[in-house]
């Protein structure tokens, strides 16, 4: 099993790249969630302005 993790001596670089990919995906998901929340809030505020006009 440890031979599989070592991946022919290149395991450090391979697992580091997997970790960086996982971090990038996690950050992207968090940013998407934040932008969605902001868009919903903006739409809600615009609707309230139209109602009061």
User: What is the pLDDT, as a whole number, of residue 38?
Assistant: 98
Q: Is residue 8 part of a domain?
A: no
Helix, strand, coil share (%) of the chain residues, nearest 5: 90, 0, 10
User: What 3-state class would DSSP assign to 39?
Assistant: helix
Counting Cα atoms < 13 Å in the Cβ hemisphere of 30 gives 6
| 8-40 tens-digit pLDDT | 889 899 999 999 999 999 999 999 999 999 999
| 39-48 tens-digit pLDDT | 999 999 999 9
Q: Is residue 19 part of a domain?
A: no
- CA 50 – CA 52 distance, rounded (Å): 5
Which domain, by its residues, includes 31? 25-53
- CA 17 – CA 36 distance, rounded (Å): 28
User: What is the pLDDT, as a whole number, of residue 31?
Assistant: 98
More confident site: 16 or 51: 16
Q: What is the number of structural domains in the chain? A: 1
Q: Is residue 44 part of a domain?
A: yes
pTM of the model: 0.73
User: What is the pLDDT, as a whole number, of residue 6?
Assistant: 85
């Amino acid at each position: 099993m440890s031979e599989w993790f070592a991946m022919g001596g290149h395991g450090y670089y391979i697992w580091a790249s997997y970790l960086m990919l996982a971090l990038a995906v996690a950050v992207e998901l968090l940013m998407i969630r934040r932008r969605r929340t902001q868009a919903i809030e903006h739409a809600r505020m615009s609707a309230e302005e139209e109602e009061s006009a």
